[in-house]
Amino acid sequence: MRNGESTLTVDVHRAEHDDGVVLAVSGEVDLATAPQLQSSFDQALRDEATPVVVDLNGVAFLGSIGLSLLIRAHDQAGPGRLRVVARTGPARRTIELTALGQVLSMFPTVSDALDAEPAE
């Protein structure tokens, strides 16, 4: 850190698919980077009832604010619309440790998430 600036970064790549929107997240999700992720969630969830897949496989750090953003996006999206992919890595461990995987719709791959039947 230099002059109080955070060196943490997050990148969100949005890809449109026939079956939904994929947000591929990489980097660190903490208090400094959360606004960018929140903005990406808000934009993706504005689109009608299209499923939104959040791919967290590229996340190196998922802080409590990131978990909070996932819960908020899940609540905003409605049943089964927000689909989370975190096969391995820090994001998966954090989700497992907090039992958030029991709340979120979790999938092993982006393809599985896009192919899933809508929740009722």
How far is the C-alpha of 2 from the C-alpha of 55, rounded, in Å? Answer: 31
DSSP3 helix / strand / coil % (the chain, rounded to 5) = 40, 30, 30
Phi-psi region of 67 (alpha: psi -120 to 50; beta: other; left: phi over 0): alpha
The two tokens of residue 120 are: 């009722």
pLDDT in tens, 42-99: 999 997 778 999 999 999 999 999 999 999 999 999 888 999 999 989 999 999 999 9
- Asked whether residue 24 carries a pLDDT value surpassing 60, the answer given is yes
pLDDT in tens, 100-112: 999 999 999 999 9
Which of 120, 114, 118 lies closest to 20, judged by CA? Answer: 114
Q: What is the mean pLDDT of residues 26-46?
A: 94
Domains in the chain with CATH codes: 10-115 (3.30.750.24)
The two tokens of residue 42 are: 């808000």
DSSP-derived secondary structure for 23-63: EEEEEEESTTTHHHHHHHHHHHHHSTT--EEEEEEEEEEE-
